[in-house]
Structure 1
């Protein structure tokens, strides 16, 4: 007992003796306090960060002498020798080399971006502070190889290497490890459920396939946003921005944006934080009246279908209407021949009459962090809520009003492992489809049958009075439109309110959804055990979808649809040849209950050359795959121009619709209506191209299956003199490329019977269906990027990059198939700035040029013209009040442009901001 007591006292003495405390202050090259610098002992998993005043206190279980390391992204790492307890150190951090920045995403382990086995783009705290964009998220557009497509003021869609629409299902966005895409839509709604600007610690972007480590859908690329840990970044910070947007169509409108971050470290064991941000403005008006069916036509054309005019998608063959009237005894049978066999569309409403263009975003999140042993082992809870109003362009233009997303995550981990689980829940709020709003306002006022009947009767009367056909069409429309509801009147508003509150698309336009996603994943890094041999990691994930749209999006009118998927992976990384050569191998297996399992391997090699190790060459071959989305599988939606029907086997017979037949069709079938099941789109339909070319033939549409890509990439990063060079080139080959194919389903007859089915085409007794399938044609893409950065005129930063992207697809081999490459062949981006022109004053200017390209989507296809954009900002820091003042402007030239066909043109934005305690 005595020996044990003596041993215990001796051990306590040793532990007490081993405690060393170091205090100090970190400043920048202007002697201003440096908040958030990392202070650590490299050999230990112990460290701290500097506070708002640049001060720190660090106690470690190490006896002097040892080295203290001070670092921050974008700054040179400093090392200080600690020779005694209670030593005081003062360190100045200087701006460093971009090649020394640390990234985690490429290998799921910290490494210099210089040695990353694959291409990585990084956007850190320093970049966020210096961005010329009005929001940090919009600032991602200036990264090399990145496309940001703007649907509206608050909804930007990030993508790399082509093949994307706003429903960008090939690109994944993770926020603190959580996929923050909408579970029902299967894509990210910009930064709706992302981060507040004050809480962003780092942003990393991996272009290209990343399925070997991150699973399905990490196909075109993956974006990682990591927030600030309250243990490392305590304190209160805030910002306020105010400005205006200016657009020819919308005029000049105010924009307000504010945010607050509160974080506190209660002890070495417990810390917490909360973030809030609010943005309000006016969206870009979409007012194009281009006829999507026949560009160049105007409303004077009987079958006009305006791009941003809705309700005019409803059309009928005017002779077929006459045949129905004659069959009902309303007009003489001989009068039918006087009606032209051409389609006539109803009069539509312009988009500004159907939405208030309110752009709003409210984000709140709170986190609790607990370190039971006061070391790197941590248990945390994170809750996030996002509410937003914006315009989303998919098959139609959707007014998302008070769209609600929430996520809740529990995570346990340390430097070597993590286990996390989270749930994503959404509510569509008061969102609605603008196209069906117009369609059903028209129908609420006057039914299609009544309107087309009046049109046909008035046309015959005008022709009988000797009017030429063109004037007869004008008179017929005027007659049928008599008494039409006019925007701005009480009658119109009452009809509008009734329609947008009705979720039945036969009579309303409300977008109803309460879909959920549940996800769990884990990773263990054995490097601390196996480092003498190799760095080894293993991990896995599980996900379950619960689709719940009450039949308004999916075919789930009889109850929610559930399905799940899982995956496991491993990675081995080894350094050889005096750590100049780094080899990495990864493989992942994924399985969905709806599909067979799939393996995704990745192999890469990186070699560091040069006496000073300043040149790194890399090569990789990796595979990616993506499951068909929830909509690819289970959608059942009438989008106006076409009916969208998912191709999961269990979905094909759940989509059942009834159509009214023409008079001839009713006489031929003995029934005024026909019932069509979704399966017919895949098994009894005409290919669209065959009908357009005058040789109707049966379509060959197969049920959708997972898509795969094999990506080959080579790259180089290095420094030559004062110039930093980063370049890469890639070549992708796709298998079972997923896209849509439009087919025409006859309301009667069997395709190929050369009888009833052809009669259905002649009498317009058919409906366009959009199917979800895979292309048997070869789809390939290739491209390259090069980035150059240097210092000029002393301390001014000059950076530029060029991106080349090209699709290799023979359209003639699959005329009905559309790949939606949707990216320009050429892009150029240049930035010029200085964070310290003189003490505390900085500026930055960004220039972007994009080549002309074709935009394909389910909404409309069209050309996006080339555009050039200049953004700029100036800022001034006031260390005495720990604040930064900033003035900025985007699209300074004022030449309005758009990045996708059908959206509002992007105008100018001017803003002024002040940020407190975030120096």
Structure 2
């Protein structure tokens, strides 16, 4: 019996051994039958994979039974599925074709499950490795500026904000950025840091962009869009990759530039055995930032008679009436856009009294001399950025992959909110653990950051005041102006004698006293002057999971469900967010859960219809929770795909929008909570909307009416949006691709930072002497805000490798204004403001709406990645319409002019070294423009790079 058992066991072992020795061999080539190295060949449903060698050949063993399927993947080529049978497993011939931009992409971001881009129920854009290689942009993140409907706001060379569908913001908090599944935002400050702490360029596999409402599956802050950046899996993308890039910018500036920069990146990934793989990444960029050097006289509603008005119609605004005078020697009120300390509404101006000895200066407002941004920073615009990551991956039985990763970002940058703020050494660590199978994922990660910054404008004002008080400076100005009769320049020069000189030890020491001292502390040697430094060392802890029940339901319907929990552990030391009464920091808990169901139905052989419904509930512990449903349908008839959706979204107030309070005596942001109002002294010294103050000083309302309109903190809640959208997408014979959409969005409880004036001495009479501070108070307004827009993108294959592509997007924001009591507001001519453009002067005259988005923009690109077997090239022309822009406390209100940019690149492949050499540039004609008021002005950026991909596989 034992012998029979042994024989049976040996027979079974022999069978297993025989199956394990099946050797599959073959070769991978391109369309011209040239060998392709580095292709990943995987046996579907197993952990077995290998890569092709330099001669294109491969060989792998398996114990799987024939027939089976091989999945073949190589960056820049169309994925191939190859059947292996008993008659071909010894010589499998695999031919890969190069991808074109017209391929049928698979996207995940729309429904959290893989689906063809063509049949996605809502608008989605996807950029992959091929698009990154062919783009004229400097980095994968920068390539987003070529996507239809995307508005970039460039604050620093390394810090750019993505905006879509209106309400452009320098730090867009209504737009969710996920990097390898992790929220990209700064936990305390609340804004996404873009690519300052993203993943290395060499490790980016794809970027998916979903415009508009996405809260139904992604929760808070996915209100105006969703950006999902995915990295490269080390099981698929292996070997050593390296990139070296050098370039220059800041051409054509007097006494500055051109300046160079360098960017080096390295990635190494390796699979060890069948189950384990790891990867490491590092990238460093150093150079000179784009410079904020607009010294024109600031356009702001704080100016007297800022709007052109029609007296015959009650003073209704018809346009901008203020004429800038850019010469400080002839302008009493010169206030340079990127000159600080000379601001007319934040401590840089003096109002001569009505009884002043020199009648020519009576009731005259005079600004003192400011410092430029470069002078205050003292770093000559130098910028750096480091990014690094390490991850290990392990394949468990059942096609489950476990991974653990560490991600690091470090750099300096300038951020624009109400003021310009300089972050000299931002640092962020993220650690993520994830378990992912075919039908589920579990993810936990933490964000730990060290973020300290100082306010450039407030620091410049403090330097001026440290040297000489505003009153003393004004007295000296007035004395010289009397003696020299009308000479503004000489008066300024005399009053400025002995002023701290930028770059000197004395200037630097004074600046550092303020910049290195927190806003909660007094500077060294003072009992009255506080610092200008803020701190955000806050942390975020996030846990989430999802399960796909489709297989359990025997494919009767596609059903997924998931949930998440998040905790913000604030650590600002009271510099951004006030401490609790006991001196401790706030924590904020958020949780949410969602479910989605979809079913594809066939209508004969003609069409398919796929309806989808989703529902999510979210709650922030300080804000009432709510549901965000979504319903969509896509109808596919041959290559034609018609989509429609109704969606809802919401946005939780960020920590700063809840609790922020300004430093003593200074203007700044104020949160919407009652705690923030108390910290700003708004209960004892009320603030008034800037437009109401102007109406009062112009005699249009009485003092009693003004007092009745004082800011009064009420219930502060989430802002909400409902939107419906229709679209059409087609790909015809792999030559013509068209994607078009139209959307209509309506906001309620919109959170915006409105300009309020708080009298210095608590007296209404202070307004007549310009004695007030400007506060940006976060409020839920009761206005009816609607955004309508449409866009179309198209690509056409011209043959011989040439592709002509382009896109156009249009959007308009309208508003029906209401006062605090809910009554519709009339313009100064007495006509109700109902459904009018927010850029119209008679609307803006009544207060800021901060739509800050161009109505029109387009891109046109001609490209050919295969001019020869080695050369490729692309050429892009971009145009963005003028836009009405309302920015912060110290920037202003202005029509930003339209701008254009011509971008190009030429690439050369070196197959022997698996390398690509690229020569390119953006804004080739070096026509400087700014994407927001007070931001850095962007000129030509020229570069050459060499990239080695997946060596040593």
Same-fold call, TM cutoff 0.5: yes
Give the RMSD, CA atoms, in angstroms.
Answer: 2.9
Instruction: Tell me which residue corresponds to 2:871.
Output: 841
Q: What CA distance in whole angstroms lies between the structure 1 residues aligned with 2:50 and 2:176? A: 31
Q: CA deviation at 1:792?
A: 0.9
Correspondence for 1:233 among 227, 233, 237: 237
Q: Deviations over 1:761-799 (max 9, x none)?
A: 334443222110122111111111111111114321111
Q: Contact conserved, 2:140 with 2:204, CA < 8 A, in 1?
A: no
Q: 3-state DSSP class of the match of 1:637? A: coil
Instruction: Tell me which residue corresponds to 1:723.
Output: 736
Q: What CA distance in whole angstroms lies between the structure 1 residues aligned with 2:717 and 2:370? A: 38
Q: Contact conserved, 1:99 with 1:112, CA < 8 A, in 2?
A: no
Instruction: Tell me which residue corresponds to 1:690.
Output: 695
Instruction: Tell me which residue corresponds to 2:600.
Output: 575
* Alignment pair present for 1:736 and 2:716: no
Q: What CA distance in whole angstroms lies between the structure 2 residues aligned with 1:718 and 1:492? A: 62
Q: Contact conserved, 1:51 with 1:234, CA < 8 A, in 2?
A: no
Correspondence for 2:786 among 780, 790, 804: 780
Q: Deviations over 1:547-576 (max 9, x none)?
A: 222222222383322111110001111111
Q: CA deviation at 1:379?
A: 1.8
Q: 3-state DSSP class of the match of 2:565? A: strand
Correspondence for 1:306 among 315, 323, 336: 336
Q: 3-state DSSP class of the match of 1:284? A: coil
Instruction: Tell me which residue corresponds to 1:94.
Output: 97
Unaligned runs of 5+ in 2: 304-321, 521-528, 818-826, 828-832, 834-842
Q: 3-state DSSP class of the match of 1:498? A: helix
Correspondence for 2:288 among 252, 270, 282: 282
* Alignment pair present for 1:402 and 2:425: yes
Tell me whether 850-859 or 646-655 shows the greater mean CA deviation: 646-655
Q: What CA distance in whole angstroms lies between the structure 2 residues aligned with 1:14 and 1:862? A: 80
Q: Deviations over 1:506-545 (max 9, x none)?
A: 4433332211111111111112222431111111111111
Q: Deviations over 1:814-845 (max 9, x none)?
A: 75443322222111111111111111221111
* Alignment pair present for 1:889 and 2:917: no
Q: Contact conserved, 1:122 with 1:205, CA < 8 A, in 2?
A: yes
Instruction: Tell me which residue corresponds to 2:943.
Output: 911
Q: Deviations over 1:273-311 (max 9, x none)?
A: 110001111112222122224551242333332111101
Q: Deviations over 1:137-187 (max 9, x none)?
A: 111111122222211222111122121211111111101100011112211
Q: Contact conserved, 1:602 with 1:621, CA < 8 A, in 2?
A: yes
Q: What CA distance in whole angstroms lies between the structure 2 residues aligned with 1:598 and 1:61? A: 53
Q: CA deviation at 1:851?
A: 1.2
Q: What CA distance in whole angstroms lies between the structure 1 residues aligned with 2:924 and 2:717? A: 46
Q: CA deviation at 1:683?
A: 8.9
Q: What CA distance in whole angstroms lies between the structure 2 residues aligned with 1:412 and 1:686? A: 54
The verdict on how the C-alpha distance between 1:515 and 1:52 changes in structure 2, with shifts beyond 3 A counting, is farther
Q: Contact conserved, 1:886 with 1:914, CA < 8 A, in 2?
A: yes
Instruction: Tell me which residue corresponds to 1:510.
Output: 533
Q: 1:40-51 alignment to 2 at 5 Å?
A: 40=42, 44=45, 48=49, 50=51
The verdict on how the C-alpha distance between 1:700 and 1:340 changes in structure 2, with shifts beyond 3 A counting, is same
Q: Deviations over 1:46-84 (max 9, x none)?
A: 564645745555555642224434356764443433112
Tell me whether 798-807 or 79-88 shows the greater mean CA deviation: 79-88
Correspondence for 2:138 among 134, 137, 148: 134
Q: CA deviation at 1:251?
A: 1.9
Q: What CA distance in whole angstroms lies between the structure 2 residues aligned with 1:853 and 1:372? A: 54
Q: Deviations over 1:222-276 (max 9, x none)?
A: 1111111112222111010111113333421111001000111122222111100
Q: Contact conserved, 1:882 with 1:916, CA < 8 A, in 2?
A: yes
Q: What CA distance in whole angstroms lies between the structure 2 residues aligned with 1:581 and 1:692? A: 62
Q: What CA distance in whole angstroms lies between the structure 2 residues aligned with 1:913 and 1:546? A: 41
Q: Contact conserved, 1:788 with 1:799, CA < 8 A, in 2?
A: yes
Correspondence for 2:633 among 582, 605, 610: 605
Q: Deviations over 1:347-395 (max 9, x none)?
A: 211112122211211111111112243x521221111111111222221
Correspondence for 1:252 among 258, 265, 282: 258
Q: 3-state DSSP class of the match of 1:487? A: coil
The verdict on how the C-alpha distance between 1:679 and 1:10 changes in structure 2, with shifts beyond 3 A counting, is farther
Instruction: Tell me which residue corresponds to 1:424.
Output: 447
Q: What CA distance in whole angstroms lies between the structure 1 residues aligned with 2:801 and 2:653? A: 50
Correspondence for 2:24 among 19, 22, 25: 22
Q: Contact conserved, 1:863 with 1:901, CA < 8 A, in 2?
A: no
Q: Deviations over 1:434-483 (max 9, x none)?
A: 11221111122223344345445x26xx54x5x54x33x55554443221
Q: 3-state DSSP class of the match of 1:401? A: strand
Q: CA deviation at 1:202?
A: 1.2
Q: Contact conserved, 2:875 with 2:904, CA < 8 A, in 1?
A: yes
Q: CA deviation at 1:17?
A: 6.0
Instruction: Tell me which residue corresponds to 1:318.
Output: 351
Q: Contact conserved, 1:885 with 1:915, CA < 8 A, in 2?
A: yes
The verdict on how the C-alpha distance between 1:99 and 1:822 changes in structure 2, with shifts beyond 3 A counting, is farther
Q: Contact conserved, 2:723 with 2:745, CA < 8 A, in 1?
A: yes
* Alignment pair present for 1:759 and 2:788: no
Tell me whether 699-708 or 170-179 shows the greater mean CA deviation: 699-708
Q: Deviations over 1:650-676 (max 9, x none)?
A: 333234xxxxxxxxxxxxxxxxxxxx3
Q: What CA distance in whole angstroms lies between the structure 1 residues aligned with 2:358 and 2:412? A: 49
The verdict on how the C-alpha distance between 1:11 and 1:825 changes in structure 2, with shifts beyond 3 A counting, is farther
Correspondence for 1:70 among 49, 69, 72: 72
Q: CA deviation at 1:119?
A: 0.9
Q: 3-state DSSP class of the match of 1:353? A: helix
The verdict on how the C-alpha distance between 1:31 and 1:127 changes in structure 2, with shifts beyond 3 A counting, is farther
Instruction: Tell me which residue corresponds to 1:179.
Output: 183
Correspondence for 1:797 among 803, 808, 823: 803
Q: Contact conserved, 1:99 with 1:114, CA < 8 A, in 2?
A: no
Correspondence for 1:535 among 527, 550, 558: 558
Q: What CA distance in whole angstroms lies between the structure 2 residues aligned with 1:684 and 1:239? A: 53
Q: Contact conserved, 2:738 with 2:794, CA < 8 A, in 1?
A: yes
Q: CA deviation at 1:16?
A: 5.2
Q: Contact conserved, 2:697 with 2:767, CA < 8 A, in 1?
A: no
Q: What CA distance in whole angstroms lies between the structure 1 residues aligned with 2:865 and 2:632? A: 36
